[in-house]
Amino acid sequence: MAAGGWRWCSRLVLCACLLAVSSARAGEDQKKKKDIRDYNDADMARLLEQWEKDDDIEEGDLPEHRRPPPPVDFSKVDPSKPEELLRMSKKGRTLMVFATVSGEPTEKETEEITGLWQGSLFNANFDIQRFVVGSNRVIFMLRDGSLAWEVKDFLVAQDRCADVTVEGQVFPGRAAGGAQDGQKKQNQEKEPNRAKPEL
């Protein structure tokens, strides 16, 4: 009789364990079957991570900030030219070049002048986009940042270019001398005439 009671007790414990496991799985299924309208931002973020993890995305299709940087061969870099190192590190990366049109052009004049510059660069096979951001300021966006210094060389040679900014460095344009002279004259006019002491 004791052996029969032992079997009965073990069967009862086994059934209880199976019941507990099946109810835990049912609880997980209920979490997974949550109505899409009840999803919050955290649920959506987890869902996106699951899709990205399971998705086989080619390296070229990844957003730029997720792509690995291109390898830089330091044996080809001349240490006396830091511009070469910047050029190599920006290869394949989007880069913005800022330019200022000299004088006091209207936004329409800036649009026309920089449109000519963009057309010339396009004819030279540069993939470039232009955005006018002020009455005399424009942004040129390059898909390949290594070409920015060639674009800079072109822009500073233009008659109406006051300056070009690449990676925080300002390069004076052909029209920079006239603009600086005009600023000096304005500053001299603003300062009161001071009497020079006699010796």
**CATH code: domain of residue 177:** 3.30.70.260
**Position 174 in a domain:** yes
Structural domains of the chain, count: 1
CB-CB neighbours of 87 under 10 Å: 17
The pLDDT of residue 127 is above 90: no
Look at residues 170, 166, 103, 97 and name the one whose alpha carbon lies nearest to residue 138: 97
pLDDT value, residue 20? 72
Q: Which residues of 123-154 are buried (b: 16+ CB within 10 A; e: fewer)?
A: eeebebebebeeebbbbbebeebbbbbebbeb
Q: Which long-range contacts (CB under 8 A, 24 or more apart) does 29-38 make?
A: none
**Is residue 146, in this structure, part of any structural domain at all?**
yes
Domain ranges, residue 95:
82-181
Is 20 a member of any domain? Answer: no
Tens digit of each residue's pLDDT (9 = 90 or more) over 48-105: 888 777 666 676 666 776 777 767 677 777 777 767 767 776 777 888 999 999 999 9
Compute CA distances 143 → 36, 71, 119, 126, 175, whole Å.
38, 18, 16, 9, 27
28 domain-assigned: no
- Does residue 9 belong to any structural domain of this protein? no
Q: Report the percentage of the chain scoring pLDDT > 70.
A: 69
Residue 124 lies in a domain: yes
Quick one: tokens of 171?
């390069």
Domain contains 88: yes
- Examine residue 96 and state whether it is found in any structural domain, yes or no: yes
Residue 100: CB atoms within 10 Å: 22
